[in-house]
Amino acid sequence: MKMRSLGKTALEIAPLVFGGNVFGWTADPKTSFDLLDGFVDAGFNAIDTADVYSKWVPGNQGGESETIIGQWLKANPAKREKVLIFTKVGGDLGQGRKGLSERWIIQAAEDSLHRLQTDRIDLYQSHWPDPDAAYGETLGAYQKLLKAGKIRAVGCSNLSAPQLQEALAVAKDLGLPRYETLQPEYNLYDRGGFDGPLRDLAIREGLGVITYYSLASGFLSGKYRGQDDLAKSPRGKGIAKYLTPRGDRILKALDQVAARTGAKQAEVALAWLIAREGVTAPIVSATSLPQLASLVRAAGLALSAEEVALLDQASA
């Protein structure tokens, strides 16, 4: 499988990244192990998680996803050299454990390393902007972790174009490590946050871009076409916002391309993302092996220029 450079880091990744938010939530440990084995055995090599996953589940404290990944790494020591582990810091774990201060980043990195049962994090990402921490402080903390060999590269998530521009400028001015990757919400429906100035900046600066909510919480699978369909998933309430005339246009375009290619709608939506200039790889999740097999097919699906244009027009 052809690898892609993750920005100007030394990291090379396959065209899909597995999203670990499902571990400890909709995928129990055994299922999680099976999914991770299947993903890596199919030739993919990057796993994305965060310290706060999956605190939103009743009874969870946060750290469940990292813990399961760590248990999998311990059970499969040879696979540690085959995979890249991405995690994030800054989400609210409660009791003041949040943000991007130097004190918390240094502590949170140690906590993540312990849960992941590894000696290094391949990509450590600022999860959310923190108005209480200066970019210089945050990037200075990452510099210490880089020098200690505890992380290999630094990225960010959920920054606007002005915020990212400022962070890059501070890194240059102070001689600090810069954000080399960006993790934005981006898919065929949710294009406004990344398309435009942010995408232009990422391309111009050579940043690696890994997109989340790549299937719009499952809407782009084509399973949800009306209010009656929302009961099919615990995500139903979140999918309701996509039931618009524009959403209907996008689904019809996906139907057309799926019919032409023999692929599923979700596979077409991911293939569009993979082919999009400025996108390194979409983050994808699965909770079953059949879902994982569909993701694998998406990575090998090449859309024609006409099919891409049809999807572009429907989602504009």
pLDDT of residue 11: 98
Average pLDDT, the chain: 96
Compute the distance between CA of residue 23 and CA of residue 33 in angstroms, rounded to an integer: 9
Statement: residue 101 has pLDDT above 80: yes
What was the pLDDT predicted at 232? 74
pLDDT tens, position by position, 305-316: 999 999 999 999
Task: Dump pLDDT digits (tens) for 120-135.
Answer: 999 999 999 999 999 9
pLDDT digits 0-9 by tens, 27-43:
999 999 999 999 999 99
Domains in the chain: boundaries: 4-183
Residues near 304 by beta carbon (within 8 Å), at least 6 away in sequence: none
Amino acid sitting at position 283: I
pTM, two decimal places: 0.96
Return the CATH class of domain 4-183: alpha beta
b/e 269-302 (16+ beta carbons within 10 angstroms → b): bbbbbbbbebbbbbbbbbbeeeebebbbbbbebe
Q: What is the dihedral of CA 268, 271, 275, 279, to 10 degrees?
A: 120
pLDDT band at 18 (very low <50, low <70, confident <90, very high): very high
What are the residues whose beta carbons fall under 8 Å from the beta carbon of 299, sequence distance 6 or more? 1, 14, 15, 16, 44, 270, 274
pLDDT at res. 162: 98
pLDDT one-digit tens code per residue, 22-81: 999 999 999 999 999 999 999 999 999 999 999 999 999 999 999 999 999 999 999 999
Whose CA is closest to 6, among 111, 67, 99, 86? Answer: 86
1 pLDDT band (50/70/90 cuts)? confident
Over range 141-150, report the average pLDDT: 98
Q: How far is residue 82's CA from residue 13's CA, in Å, rounded to a whole number?
A: 11
Cα–Cα distance for residue pair 89/128, rounded to 1 Å: 8
d(CA 121, CA 98): 19
Confirm if 8 and 182 have CB atoms less than 8 A apart: no
